[in-house]
Structure 1
Amino acid sequence: MQTEEQTPGKDGGMTEEMSREKAEWSPQWLTIREFSHITPVNLFHKEQEEGEKQPEAEQQLTAEFRRNLHVLVRARFTLETAQENLTLRLTADDHYKLYVESGFVAEGPAPGYPDHYYYNEIPLGKMEAGEHCFGLHLYYQGLINRVYNSGDLRFAFATELMDAQDCRIPLRFCYERTDAYSGGTIGYDTQFLENFDSRKFPEGWSSAEFDDAGWKTPAAAEWADYRLYLQPTRMLCGERIKPEKVEIYEDGSIRIDVGEEVAGSLCLTAEGSAGDTVEIFCGEELDESGSVRYEMRCNCSYHEIWTLSDGCCSLEPYDYKGFRYAKLLPGKGVNICGIFVQTRHYPMEEGAEVTSSEKRLEQIFSICKNAVKYGTQEGYVDCPTREKGQYLGDAVVTAHAQVLLTGETQMLLKCIDQFAQTRAVCPGLLAVAPGGLMQEIADYSLMYPQLLALYYRYTGNAAALLPYYKTALGMIRHFAQYERADGLLVQVADKWNLVDWPENLRDEYDFALTRPVVGAGCHNVINALYLGAKKTLNGLARVLGREEPYELEKPVFAYRRAFYRKETGLLADSETSSHTSLHSNVYALYFGLLEEAEEAPVIEFLEKRGFSCGVMLSYYLLLALARRGRYESVYRLLLNDSDHGWCNMLREGATTCFEAWGKDQKWNTSLCHPWASAPVPVILEEIAGIHLSPEGGCDFAPHIPKEVDYFHASVRVRGKMYTVTKQDGEIHAAIDGIEQSKEM
């Protein structure tokens, strides 16, 4: 089904069609000598097919350079006179950390495909005349996973220092590999543990005074095939925070409680002798004995060893973790002098808040907000622990929450663009982007138009969506190969048919969802999503001033004929099944695939079934009920006290929302998973009733329950602050403090 426009680019890269703008920066790429003549490996292929045959990595590099490679680069330069407004253009593959005069400044870039790779522009401000140096701590992970486009043997960096007149200041580079880091992989080959040996790490390496005699000169990366674009999103930030509690025990061990789950690093200073050690255990929770559960239920084992050098030394890990608790076991004679946590996340200035006399509502909003904060890194990661990958389906929920919490749409548009780039692998799109892991989930591909609709709702910028609208049309064409005569899909076999995850939260969905090939026949959810995608694209066509691309009357009729059961008034899971799951009814209601007269029994069924589903599907359930005016049911479900709800997460000690309704409801539950953040948009838009229009207006329609005595919600979008407050029985709405209605 691939057209010439949609085939993979040269050497397996993404096609130039993915981005029509001209590449913005074409620097000289440098690398270490071992990588200068490498032939990069093509990682791109459909999940169920083998990739191109490439020279084996082992034939090109020795084992010590293929994985977990840390390289320190010094860039020296001379300023004849004091300079103001210096700017550094900088990128690296896989990752860099920048130090100027020994102080940490920034890290990046956001991961991307080689044909659409990102660079950063970093202001360095004013510098005095004289000799200066900045340092780059480069990293090549070498794993095939959801985090980086690594394992492809691309390891290089590029940088230019520009003065206020945009003239280049010459840089003199040298580098040295450090073997201070060691450890095995954790998660789904997500990251390496960092057993750090301070004796092997050159202290002060990025300062101008450091003696770099014997360091090597980098070589040109002769294979460099990147197209560079200025990173469209802001750079990562974070806070240096003190733990909420530090307890020292008689045996010398130390237990640390950060106070809430964070994404970041545990940083330490200690005094001791060379060879002394500190064992470090991190985890999201405590076990039954009160010890840190470092062998985490999410399939990460955070146990590392720090080896000290003589005197006072510091530990600041390179990679980040998701954790709340830590335990230290200092060796005899080791004195821990300092403990702090460096968090890491995409910028989230305070803009959206909820306070209420119903504290559970406030707490639920808080744990979802925290998960979105720490789950938005250089993309919308599904979790900051096991996978660290940007999944399309997860992103629909996370992006909706993140836009409302921050008022920004840059990350959403970048997400839309990166999934559009995956059409070079399959016009039907991948489930993860970017990253070297090739994974395809049909349900997620069919949710792609939801991302476009979200962007339009909060920006009103239809023109920006035109290339992605075309991508979405191509996605539909890919799935159309599985259409039968009546327009329904049968056995979409090239991608995983998910329905819901984990399997035990599918409400006994009655269809064979085997992998890699789904069962034969026609089932409900994939068709509801297919018709919903077409319906969403028809709506986007109207705002783009285009003719609606899809005739839906006949296929929607075929959908009801195949799955609607007149005797119950509900929809079944497949043509041949009489079982009616929550999943087979929620999408039909969400996308409006039923006649109005048919909706009442479906609504009643969904209200009774509640959250007989995974946490992501709750987003569609709550919004479907809200759109039918069932606000009491929405509120009741939000605060339901069963094992399937956010109140259960609170009971189990959540400070960020979980991957499942409870810790034991999935075999590898992560305790920070923003795909469970549906309460953010539901509380702000359906309970508070702050409905923002694409044109820039706001339709206030609060539905705050009578039993809630006090409620306040605020949202900052497009530079304006929208607030809704209920107090003393009255509800008031305001824009930038100007009241819109005395009583609502």
Structure 2
Amino acid sequence: MMKENVLQWATVSVAGIMMGSTTLAAPTHLVDERPVEISHVSPDVVLVDFGKVAYGNLRLQPPANATGTVTVHFGEDFVDGRINRKPKGTVRYNQTSVTLAGSQAIVAAPPADPRNTELVSTRKHYHPPAILTPEEWGVVLPFRWVEIEGWNGTLKPEQIVRQSAYASTWKDDAAAFESSDDMLNRIWDLCRYSIKATTFAGVYVDGDRERIPYEADAYLNQLSHYYTDDDKVMARDTINYLLLDGIGTWPTEWAPHMVFMVHADWMHTGDLGWMSGRYQALKSKLLLHRKGDDGLIFSEEVDMKKTDIVDWPQKERDGYVFTPRNTVVNAFYLRAIKLMAEMARAIGFEEEAKRYEADFDASYAAFQKTFFDEGKGLYLDGVDTDHISSHANLYPLAFGLVPEPHRSGMADWLAGRGMRCSVYAAQYLMEGLFENGAGTQALALMVADNDRSWKHMVDSGTTISWEAWDLKYKPNQDWNHAWGAAPANLLPRYVLGAEPLAPSWKTARISPNLGDLKSAQGKVPTRMGAILVEWEVAGNFKMKLQLPEGMAAQVDLPAVGESSQVLLDGKPVKASLRAGRWVLEERVEGSVVIEVR
């Protein structure tokens, strides 16, 4: 069904060329994909279904006697048996006409979109340039269905292919996930494919409406890419691009995400030299120019009205009250300088590491004193307000800022309020729940039978994750946004339970969350090789774990039922019971079977 086309690329033309350079990007290529179904909706109109949405265009192979003009309609939405030619939001529809000249192969590509090819900002607010795909490809757009008008005779499968753009390095078998919950499996399939499909540009872009790299989008994309494929080049090229002068985007909290991205690269690759080369540039991403004498980040009027984003779109902010000193911005600042301290020490900048740690301690003390309501065990949105939003709490919980005695209570409070945030902030909400004993609630939110869950996306029939939970929550949304695919990283990290504890995955954490699942298994790609995890609950808990050579794992497992011991390959091992989990005292290596009885 698929055949690699010869077209490949390793550079993208962006505003970088306007500054005298060409921005390197991960290699991508066009892959020939055959239709899964061809039918006639009328004597003169052929309907072609490619099964999934992908960025691409068409290559037609007409018969020898073909003449005349055919009209090709491309669609991302399908209504009443036809392509939706007037879709809502930024859901894609386009058309083009091509002239047939015998059996000569011809590429049918739509006209370029003015907005997602814009190199010089012409709108009210400045934006970085769009990422352009190679000119020799022709224009690509996301589509699943095609209608062809004017094709004489029968359109055969071998006469039409979609030239679909993907990362050249993508491996469909690099990662896997399967559980006893069919809906969770379908969510994984949707989100994993979403990451593959959105690699078309060679760097992480926000979606088809703009095709611009944004820091927060890129970080979520990076996390999910790491858990669905074993290539790290695209994340690095996106980081390099976003660190260029003049490329950073407008939201306050987006800048600290650059620290998150470089730290994540270090943890997953162990490449200290690469991290060192970007360390100095990260200092401009710490919001230090807005730091007050009390150690907190201040927000001016323009920040409160525009740049402090909290969540996006605005209606997803759970009524957040913006103040001159607010919880969300300061939570991001604290997380960023904590990670900077870790990186500074690893590079050998011990004095800088100590300064960051001292700054963290002072700012954290002010953070707790200013924003935390000890009686309620929750954070206020900011100074001079008694409003408590989900966002003021979900970020501190995800970033490990909440005092230990209040973590489980805050997790329960957040879970009880439901998905009061966007698909972007849901990444952090889920992390906070999984990390603090509320994994069952996190999984329930993923598969909730409402329009604010990934189940809703699956039920809609989409094959790439959305920019928002639904069009009614963001009327201009597009249907090809990688930041909506958080389960692509959440399920391997928290259901299979695999995360790096040390750079390069030399030490892994294996800490599966069961929820209401009976079993789960999967494959997690790492720099050292794949981790294979398979667990089941049948009274007792049993896990088969296979680690690549050279990797050790710190393991903690759920204390199911009335369990009293842990067995490693059939022999009792030392383990301590902490907060409902058995924590093995010794790290494990190689292939093992661990049981909780």
TM category, shorter: 0.7 to 0.9
Q: CA deviation at 1:606?
A: 1.2
One-letter amino acid of the structure 2 residue matched with residue 500 of structure 1: D
Q: Which residue of 1 aligns with 2:532?
A: 723
* Aligned residue among 258, 276, 293 for 2:84: 293
SS in structure 2 of the partner of residue 481 of structure 1 = helix
Q: Which residue of 2 aligns with 1:314?
A: 105
* Aligned residue among 145, 164, 188 for 1:343: 164
- Alpha carbons of 1:605 and 1:285: their partners in 2 closer, same or farther (altered >3 Å)? same
Structure 1 residues 502-547: Cα deviation after superposition (integer angstroms, max 9, x where no partner):
1121112122xxxxxxxx7222211211222112211222222323
Preserved contact between residue 180 and residue 520 of structure 2 (Cα < 8 Å): yes
One-letter amino acid of the structure 1 residue matched with residue 281 of structure 2: T
Q: Indicate yes or no: 2:187 matched with 1:378.
A: no
Q: CA deviation at 1:706?
A: 6.8
Structure 1 residues 390-443: Cα deviation after superposition (integer angstroms, max 9, x where no partner):
211111111111122111222222222222223xx3xxx612xxxxxxxx2211
Aligned ranges 1:175-574 → 2 under 5 Å: 226-227=20-21, 231=24, 233=26, 235-270=27-62, 276-287=68-79, 289-299=80-90, 302-316=93-107, 317=109, 318-330=138-150, 336=155, 338-346=159-167, 347-349=169-171, 350-422=173-245, 425=246, 430-431=248-249, 440-476=250-286, 479-492=287-300, 493=302, 496-511=307-322, 521-546=324-349, 547=351, 548=353, 549-550=355-356, 551-574=359-382
Aligned ranges 1:95-106 → 2 under 5 Å: 105-106=6-7
Q: Indicate yes or no: 2:549 matched with 1:741.
A: no
Q: In the aligned structure 1, how far is the partner of 2:335 from the partner of 2:407? A: 16
SS in structure 2 of the partner of residue 640 of structure 1 = coil
Q: Which residue of 1 aligns with 2:587?
A: none
- Alpha carbons of 1:413 and 1:305: their partners in 2 closer, same or farther (altered >3 Å)? closer
Preserved contact between residue 283 and residue 295 of structure 1 (Cα < 8 Å): no
Q: Which residue of 1 aligns with 2:448?
A: 640
- Alpha carbons of 1:418 and 1:538: their partners in 2 closer, same or farther (altered >3 Å)? same
- Alpha carbons of 1:700 and 1:725: their partners in 2 closer, same or farther (altered >3 Å)? farther
Preserved contact between residue 12 and residue 22 of structure 2 (Cα < 8 Å): no
Q: Indicate yes or no: 2:409 matched with 1:618.
A: no
Q: In the aligned structure 2, how far is the partner of 1:421 from the partner of 1:382? A: 16
Q: CA deviation at 1:682?
A: 1.5
One-letter amino acid of the structure 1 residue matched with residue 266 of structure 2: Y
- Alpha carbons of 1:306 and 1:462: their partners in 2 closer, same or farther (altered >3 Å)? same
Structure 1 residues 222-257: Cα deviation after superposition (integer angstroms, max 9, x where no partner):
xxx84568x573x21243121111111333211222
One-letter amino acid of the structure 2 residue matched with residue 722 of structure 1: I
- Taking structure 1 as the reference length, what is the TM-score of the superposition? 0.64
- Alpha carbons of 1:742 and 1:523: their partners in 2 closer, same or farther (altered >3 Å)? closer
Q: Indicate yes or no: 2:9 matched with 1:108.
A: yes
- Extract unaligned runs of 5+ from structure 1: 1-102, 113-147, 155-224, 432-439, 512-519
Deviates more, 1:630-639 or 1:440-449: 630-639
Preserved contact between residue 498 and residue 508 of structure 2 (Cα < 8 Å): yes
Q: CA deviation at 1:322?
A: 0.8
SS in structure 2 of the partner of residue 308 of structure 1 = strand
Aligned ranges 1:593-672 → 2 under 5 Å: 593-672=401-480
One-letter amino acid of the structure 2 residue matched with residue 430 of structure 1: G
Deviates more, 1:357-366 or 1:487-496: 487-496
Q: CA deviation at 1:275?
A: 8.1
Q: CA deviation at 1:313?
A: 4.0
One-letter amino acid of the structure 2 residue matched with residue 324 of structure 1: R
Q: CA deviation at 1:635?
A: 2.4
Aligned ranges 1:676-695 → 2 under 5 Å: 676-692=484-500, 693-695=502-504
Q: CA deviation at 1:723?
A: 0.6
Q: Provide the aligned length of Structure 1 versus Structure 2.
A: 508
SS in structure 2 of the partner of residue 656 of structure 1 = coil
Preserved contact between residue 46 and residue 148 of structure 2 (Cα < 8 Å): yes
Preserved contact between residue 252 and residue 329 of structure 1 (Cα < 8 Å): yes
Identity rate, percent: 21
Q: CA deviation at 1:562?
A: 2.5
Preserved contact between residue 345 and residue 373 of structure 1 (Cα < 8 Å): yes
Structure 1 residues 76-132: Cα deviation after superposition (integer angstroms, max 9, x where no partner):
xxxxxxxxxxxxxxxxxxxxxxxxxxx9632434226xxxxxxxxxxxxxxxxxxxx
Structure 1 residues 53-90: Cα deviation after superposition (integer angstroms, max 9, x where no partner):
xxxxxxxxxxxxxxxxxxxxxxxxxxxxxxxxxxxxxx
Q: Which residue of 1 aligns with 2:15?
A: 149
Q: Which residue of 2 aligns with 1:588?
A: 396
Q: In the aligned structure 1, how far is the partner of 2:230 from the partner of 2:469? A: 28
Identify the structure with the greater helix proportion.
Answer: 2
Q: CA deviation at 1:486?
A: 0.7
- Extract unaligned runs of 5+ from structure 2: 110-137, 550-589
Q: In the aligned structure 2, how far is the partner of 1:408 from the partner of 1:694? A: 16
Preserved contact between residue 380 and residue 390 of structure 1 (Cα < 8 Å): yes
Preserved contact between residue 60 and residue 106 of structure 2 (Cα < 8 Å): yes
Preserved contact between residue 379 and residue 390 of structure 1 (Cα < 8 Å): no
SS in structure 1 of the partner of residue 318 of structure 2 = coil
